[in-house]
Amino acid sequence: MKIQETKSRNIWRRLSLLFLKVGNLFNKKTTTPKQIEEDREAIIAEGIKSLWTRGYVVIPSTPEIEKVVDQLDRLTAQWFAQPLEHKLQYVFSEQTGGYEPPRPKDDASSNDTHKETFTIVNTYDWLEFIENKAAHKIKQSQLDFDLMVAIYHYIDLMEERVSIFAKIIARASDMPEVYDEIMNNYYRTSYRALGYSATKEFILNNGHNDRGTGTAISRESVQGHQNSFTTKDRAAGTWRDIKFERGKIVMFPGLVCQKITKCRIKSLPHRVVTTPESQEKGRDSGALFLDTSFTTKKLEKGSGSKIFPHFSNFNFDPDNPEHVAEFDTYFEQQKF
């Protein structure tokens, strides 16, 4: 596994350095190591506070990340605009990812009739898949190549930001070892580009909890993300907007994070709804999923609003063995 990790990381960096200019992860202005550390500690302190009060954290982005996000916005829109026949060359698989078209409108099991996605699930396996594109009869365009390079560059740049998130989780849970567990598995990161067509339907993505360690979202073309974080003053099933701003990265824990912190940190129920703007224009977004390799089974569509908030509820007590055992049983049933 370490060999695979090292090889995958090296591939990211070769691609990034070869095709895109990598700047310093911090601002161009002169800063001392002490200033950098003080800034980082301030972000961590604010993140811990936000995690306990809102269920998610907001971490400052960097100019380099914002530049790549702009590229991803442009390239993703162009890629989704390609003919369906070309996109279906990258048919989705659980091992590598790929393209998933909108589901048929008569598919009652899903509300994904307005959503198409392009996902890289496992960076190492995806590169092997692309290297054998002749065997898979894939006619790769320059646009395909440019989008994949931008995705790898984004994943590479985000590692330092994710390390701040990992530090927040480790300190908030009072489990220092969790930091290494999250970062040692960073090479398993997946990226998904999502495109929603214009629709008058209110709910675009049912309430659910993501399955990995955490999720990072740098930007959305239109607002519409909501969460159902519970507190003693806020009941389960109460949905509130998550505001996305340029220069900010929203990150929240998933079910694997709840597992490795022994339920001290709870995964965040969330959903996507339409707004007047997205009803008219549609919406696009991109999400980074941390350590999703634990999952081999897709969760049942629509089950999130009924099942997941129970495990994320304020009344779910991590010090109650019965509560933790209940979550562990569910976790194992999902084949994480």
Pairwise CA distance, residues 293 & 296, whole Å: 7
Q: Provide the domain count of the chain.
A: 1
For residue 114 the two structure tokens come to 């307005």
Between residues 17 and 314, which one has the greater pLDDT?
Answer: 314
| Pairing mode, strands 248-253 and 240-241 | unpaired
Residue 80's nearest CA partner among 27, 53, 119, 108 is 119
With a cut of 50, say whether residue 132 has pLDDT above it: yes
Does the structure show a pLDDT above 50 at 22?
Answer: no
- In this structure, is residue 265 part of a structural domain? yes
Tokens, residue 152: 């790898």
- Evaluate whether residue 70 is within a structural domain: yes
Task: Find, among 291, 13, 36, the residue nearest to 164 by Cα.
Answer: 36
- Number of C-alpha atoms within 13 angstroms, CB side, residue 155? 34
173 vs 213: CA distance, rounded Å: 14
Q: How far apart are CA 81 and CA 191, in angstroms?
A: 19
Cα dihedral 29, 33, 38, 42 in deg (nearest 10): 70
In angstroms, the CA 138 to CA 89 distance is 6
- Top mean pLDDT of 70-74, 278-282, 308-312, 323-327 is at 70-74
- pLDDT for 26 equals 44
Alpha carbon distance 96, 116 (integer Å):
17
In the chain, % of residues over pLDDT 90: 34
Q: What is the pLDDT of residues 104-130, one digit of tens each?
A: 766 544 556 788 999 987 666 677 777
Question: Does 29 reside within a domain?
Answer: no
Q: Is the pLDDT at 302 greater than 70, yes or no?
A: no
254 occurs within a structural domain: yes
Residues 193 and 308: their CA atoms lie apart, in Å, by 24
Does 7 fall in a domain? yes
User: Is there a domain that residue 95 lies in?
Assistant: yes
**Domain assignment of residue 46, yes or no:** yes
d(CA 305, CA 206): 7
Range of the domain at 134: 2-24+35-333
Q: What is the pLDDT of residue 86?
A: 92
Q: Which residues pair with 241 in a beta bridge?
A: 226
Round to whole Å and give the CA distance between 16 and 117.
Answer: 23
State how far the Cα of 203 lies from the Cα of 136, in Å rounded to an integer: 36
pLDDT score recorded for residue 186: 85
**Is 88 a residue whose pLDDT tops 70?**
yes
Question: How far, in Å, are 60, 134, 320, 321, 323 from residue 262 at the CA level?
Answer: 28, 46, 11, 10, 10
Mean pLDDT of 67-75: 94
Answer whether residue 113 is part of any domain. Answer: yes
Give me the pLDDT at residue 122, please. 66
Residue of 146 and 200 predicted with greater confidence: 146
Q: What letter does residue 216 receive in the DSSP assignment? A: E
Give the residue with greater pLDDT, 220 vs 27.
220
Which of 53, 110, 86, 113 lies closest to 233, judged by CA? 53
pLDDT at 312: 63
Per the structure block, which two tokens stand in for 94?
A: 């659980």
Report the CATH number at residue 44. Answer: 2.60.120.330
- For the chain, give percent helix, strand, coil, nearest 5: 45, 20, 35
DSSP, collapsed to helix, strand or coil, labels residue 144 as helix
Contact 313, 236 (CB under 8 A): yes
Assign 147 a pLDDT band (cuts: 50, 70, 90): very high
